[in-house]
Amino acid sequence: MIDWQDFEKVDMRVGRIVAVEDFPEARKPAWKLRIDFGPEIGEKRSSAQITNYAREQLEGRLVVAVVNFPPRQIGPVRSEVLVLGAVADEHPVLLLEPDEGSQPGDRVA
């Protein structure tokens, strides 16, 4: 169990995927993403195992990500944020998507 103060440390923000690149070096199929989190945070990079989405489904899409984890080196990619999705053993990752009207940089609470 965590308490409320622990939860408040997690900075989850709305971002817009602005670029999707192939990631052939990944051990498991993945995309390299560039995500815009608005003027306060700017653009960040992420590696995401969400290959059940076509590039066209991802570009321009709003997502939710944790923006205050330390960067993680994944092969040649420095992943700066963790894109959030629902995960089940028998299903692919399903991205969390904010409702219409959300803007890059909006805080998720």
> In this predicted model, what pLDDT tens digit does every residue of 58-91 receive, in sequence order?
999 999 999 999 999 988 899 999 999 998 777 7
- Return the closest-CA partner of residue 34 out of 59, 53, 57: 59
Alpha carbons within 13 A on the beta-carbon side of 37: 24
Q: Hey, what CATH topology would domain 4-100 get?
A: OB fold (Dihydrolipoamide Acetyltransferase, E2P) (2.40.50)
Q: For the whole model, what pTM was predicted? A: 0.92
- State mean pLDDT over 24-31: 86
What confidence category does residue 40 fall into, taking pLDDT thresholds of 50, 70 and 90?
very high
